[in-house]
């Protein structure tokens, strides 16, 4: 192989390499959710969308691709002074998205660093107007204010801030100890109140139960007394009706009265027996009844076949001797 042939092979190899370099530089594939900025001779030419793109070698230059997806950036803790002069450490998380690749490339040098610094300054302004308690309980309000300020400031950078979250708010250790003691005391106070409320409710329920039981017992006693009185009334009514139907005379009533007298002396504690004043009238009635009864007189042969003779009239009840007329009768 001669020298001419070798030189030709070298030239062809150089040409092939040159063509390959041109193809690599001229053909670009942009992935999905990415965007590229093309500069032609150092000047912005166009923004490349996802897909296949042809560039002019050595004339067009493709800058680093930009991610169009929503990005999450967690910034380191920032020391912030509250309105009541307490230093708290706050961690923030920012959610943002590149909406204009050209502005994000030419309007700001490093948009992530810019968002971090803007978040820090805005956070200090917002939290500086709140005391510690408000800062701990007003996260939603702080997030809303931070998002509004960051979205307005980053709009011209081609960035849209969707959310800002406070990941952690850590007060000083001394304040944490004081807060823990306060929370423990508050829990104990609530427990004491709940225990007292429970005891109060239990006592109220017990008293209510006793009251209802007393009311029901009183109602039962009242009903029992009413039924007992009704029974006694009915018994008295029946006895009264029986007495009236039997039509008792004065003699029967006097006899029953005398039968009742011994019951007055029953009992071991009765030392004195007082005879009622009505005893004389009762004896008079009994005496009159016995005086009117005369048995048949016997005949000579001992057989009573003759008619009974009329009995002599009994002495007047007014002159009949009674126990009441005796001088020895107790009064």
Between 329 and 263, the more confident residue is 263
When pLDDT is cut at 50, 70 and 90, the band that residue 213 belongs to is very high
Please, how many CA atoms are within 13 Å of residue 74, restricted to the half-sphere of its CB?
4
Structural tokens at position 244: 């009236």
When pLDDT is cut at 50, 70 and 90, the band that residue 304 belongs to is very low
Residue 134 clears pLDDT 80, i.e. is over it: yes
What CA–CA distance (Å, rounded) separates 78 from 121? 10
Between 195 and 281, the more confident residue is 195
Between 322 and 199, the more confident residue is 199
When pLDDT is cut at 50, 70 and 90, the band that residue 284 belongs to is low
**Alpha carbon separation from 284 to 29, 58, 249, 277, 294 (Å, rounded):** 149, 164, 14, 12, 18
Please list, in sequence order, all residues whose beta carbon lies within 8 angstroms of the beta carbon of residue 315, skipping any fewer than 6 positions away. Answer: 291
Identify the H or E element spanning 159.
strand 159-170
Residue 316 clears pLDDT 50, i.e. is over it: no
Between 248 and 234, the more confident residue is 234
DSSP-assigned states of every residue in 57-91? TTTEEEPPPEE-S-EEEEEEEEEEE-TTS-EEEEE
What CA–CA distance (Å, rounded) separates 152 from 95? 14
How big is the CA angle at 181 (ends 175 and 186), to the nearest 5 degrees?
A: 125
Residue 323 clears pLDDT 80, i.e. is over it: no
Q: What is the pTM of this model?
A: 0.50
Helix count and strand count (H, E) for the chain: 8, 9
Residue 182, classed as helix, strand or coil, is helix
Q: Could you say which DSSP state residue 170 is in?
A: E
Q: Taking the C-alpha atoms of 157, 159, 163 and 165 in order, what is their torsion angle to the nearest 10 degrees?
A: -50
List, for residues 4-48, the tens digit of each pLDDT value.
Answer: 677 778 888 888 888 888 887 788 888 999 999 999 988 999 999
What CA–CA distance (Å, rounded) separates 176 from 237? 90
Contact 123, 90 (CB under 8 A): yes
Please list, in sequence order, all residues whose beta carbon lies within 8 angstroms of the beta carbon of residue 115, skipping any fewer than 6 positions away. Answer: 73, 94, 96, 150, 154, 159, 161
Q: Could you say which DSSP state residue 328 is in?
A: T
Contact 88, 42 (CB under 8 A): no
Between 309 and 260, the more confident residue is 260
What CA–CA distance (Å, rounded) separates 109 from 117? 13
Nearest to 35, CA basis, from 112, 108, 105, 111: 105
């Amino acid at each position: 192989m001669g020298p001419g042939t070798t030189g030709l092979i070298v030239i062809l190899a150089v040409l092939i390499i040159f063509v390959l370099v041109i193809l690599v530089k001229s053909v670009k594939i942009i992935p999905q959710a990415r965007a590229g900025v093309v500069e032609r001779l150092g000047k912005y030419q166009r923004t490349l969308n996802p897909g296949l793109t042809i560039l002019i070698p050595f004339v067009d230059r493709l800058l680093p691709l930009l991610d169009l997806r929503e990005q999450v950036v967690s910034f380191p803790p920032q020391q912030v002074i509250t309105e009541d002069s307490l230093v708290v450490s706050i961690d923030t998380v920012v959610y943002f998205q590149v909406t204009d690749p050209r502005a994000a490339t030419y309007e700001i040098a490093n948009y992530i660093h810019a968002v971090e610094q803007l978040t820090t300054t805005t956070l200090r302004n917002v939290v500086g107007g709140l005391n510690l308690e408000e800062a701990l309980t007003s996260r939603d309000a702080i997030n809303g204010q931070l998002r509004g300020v960051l979205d307005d400031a980053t709009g011209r950078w081609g960035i849209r801030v969707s959310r800002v979250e406070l990941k952690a708010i850590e007060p000083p250790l001394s304040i944490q100890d004081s807060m823990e003691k306060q929370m423990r005391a508050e829990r104990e106070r609530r427990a004491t109140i709940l225990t007292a409320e429970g005891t109060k409710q239990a006592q109220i329920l017990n008293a209510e139960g006793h009251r209802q039981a007393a009311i029901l017992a009183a109602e039962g006693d009242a009903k029992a007394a009413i039924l007992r009185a009704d029974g006694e009334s009915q018994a008295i009514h029946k006895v009264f009706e029986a007495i009236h139907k039997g039509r008792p005379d004065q003699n029967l009533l006097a006899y029953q009265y005398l039968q009742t007298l011994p019951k007055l002396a029953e009992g071991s504690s009765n030392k004195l027996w007082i005879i009622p004043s009505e005893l004389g009238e009762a004896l008079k009635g009994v005496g009159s009844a016995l005086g009117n009864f005369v048995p048949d007189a016997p005949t000579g042969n001992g057989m009573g076949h003759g008619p009974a003779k009329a009995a002599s009239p009994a002495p007047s009840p007014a002159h009949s001797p009674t126990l009441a007329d005796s001088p020895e009768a107790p009064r």
